[in-house]
Amino acid sequence: MTIYLDNAATTQMSVSSLNEYVRVQRDCFGNPNGVHHISQAAKTVLEEKRESFARATGADVRGTIFTSSGTEACNLAIKGGKGDLPVAVVSSIEHHCVLEPIKTYPTRRMVRSSSDGSLDLVDLERALKEHGDNIGLFALMAVNNETGVIQPIAQACQLVRQYAKRAKILIDAVQAVPWLDLKVLYSCADMLVISAHKFHGPKGSGVLFTRYPNELAPIIAGGGQEYEKRSGTQDVAAVAASAVALDDVQRDRLQSLSKVKDLNAVFLSSLEGGDAEFMVNGSRETSVDAIISIRFPDVRNEELIFLADQEGIAISAGAACASGALQPSHVLLSMGLTKTQATSSIRVSFGVENTLQECISAAQCLSTIATKLRSSRVK
């Protein structure tokens, strides 16, 4: 049995995306920055796909910058877009690709999370009143990568526009692409970031959309590619495959939403039918159905993940890091969970390739494993 329930970490490339990658790699292999016809064929593909990405969000073509990842795109937005204003205001539940580069700001104001996993708007308003016109950046993810909770983007951005008129708003939409409307998200933002491997495209392909490309300074120096905002020869095949993947998920979004809702429901129903006690971290009413954070009292998540893997079930504790070590989630701690509760939590994330039977089997298996682990610990 092999059941992959870690789609928030990465998704499998779709057939159409993979086919496009192979086609472009084979037929349009030239360096798109050259002058001869082979290079120009690659350049044509690159710019056609840039227009496709721009249409998907309502962005300007010159403000659509290709990068190697969502992490690089966030770093470019934060470091490259940093002006003279000294304060960055960010939520405490951001991904590390935001939390690390904001350290370049002299003052960082972390806005706490509510117990339901959403940004505390009262604390945000307090922070905005406190720092006002000194705020250069406000960053907030659209969908939390560990709990699946949809953040109050519209309300938060409205507050920022009211109290910090000079601040640039960055939205990390990496986990949102298959589930939310990108045009609606970008309408609230000055900058928005996506990463193709989260929506069935290839790894190593990210995009930064910005309304102010002329104010963006490169953080990678070199040949001046990407309108002199991101040097390095573009991976045209990856860009093309990513564009196809984005077109597919946008076209099929309503159908996919319906499917993962059913997967979520049958998984939780099957888990409730088992013997293991569990709780869901974060509000299910304001979450995407594709991601669930689940806590099993008196069970260590690393043991549960290891034993589930032995049964062919791939799940995680949260965001994947380079070391693979399982540390208490800063997201769950920010929501008010204790260290013990955080290290008793796992993340299950569904994709459109999953089946109802897989979700039933996985839930039953996880319940059995958790029951045995808890029994051995409480004796």
Separation between Cα atoms, residue 311 and residue 263, nearest integer Å: 20
DSSP for 229-244, written as a single string: TS-S---HHHHHHHHH
> How confident is the model over 179-198, as pLDDT tens digits?
999 999 999 999 999 999 99
pLDDT value of position 378: 56
348 backbone dihedrals φ, ψ, rounded to 5°: -115, 130
CB 140 within 8 A of CB 153: yes
DSSP for 45-112, written as a single string: HHHHHHHHHHHHHT--GGGEEEES-HHHHHHIIIIIT--S--EEEEETT--HHHHTGGGGSSEEEEEP
State which CATH number among 3.40.250.10, 3.40.640.10, 3.40.50.11540, 3.50.50.60 fits the domain covering 15-251.
Answer: 3.40.640.10
pLDDT tens for the chain, 379 residues long, are 799 999 999 999 999 999 999 999 999 999 999 999 999 999 999 999 999 999 999 999 999 999 999 999 999 999 999 999 999 999 999 999 999 999 999 999 999 999 999 999 999 999 999 999 999 999 999 999 999 999 999 999 999 999 999 999 999 999 999 999 999 999 999 999 999 999 999 999 999 999 999 999 999 999 999 999 999 999 999 999 999 999 999 999 999 999 999 999 999 999 999 999 999 999 989 999 999 999 999 999 999 999 999 999 999 997 665 445 567 899 999 999 999 999 999 999 999 999 999 999 999 999 999 999 998 775 5
Separation between Cα atoms, residue 276 and residue 346, nearest integer Å: 14
Fold exhibited by the domain 3-12+253-378: Aspartate Aminotransferase, domain 1 (3.90.1150)
pLDDT value of position 266: 98
Q: What is the pTM of this model?
A: 0.95
For residues 305-336, one letter each, b for 16 or more C-beta atoms within 10 angstroms of the residue's C-beta and e for the rest, the string is: bebbeeeebbbbbbbeeeeeebebbbbbbbbe
pLDDT value of position 102: 97
Residue 43 Rama label (left phi>0; alpha psi -120 to 50; beta): alpha
Chain centroid to CA 221: 26
Separation between Cα atoms, residue 273 and residue 134, nearest integer Å: 53
> How confident is the model over 323-375, as pLDDT tens digits?
455 678 999 999 999 999 999 999 999 999 999 999 999 999 999 999 999 98
CB atoms within 10 A of CB 2: 8
Separation between Cα atoms, residue 130 and residue 371, nearest integer Å: 48
Strands 64-67 and 206-210, by their bridges, are antiparallel
pLDDT value of position 326: 66
User: Where do you find CATH 3.90.1150.10 in the chain?
Assistant: 3-12+253-378
User: Where do you find CATH 3.40.640.10 in the chain?
Assistant: 15-251
> How confident is the model over 57-83, as pLDDT tens digits?
999 999 999 999 999 999 999 999 999
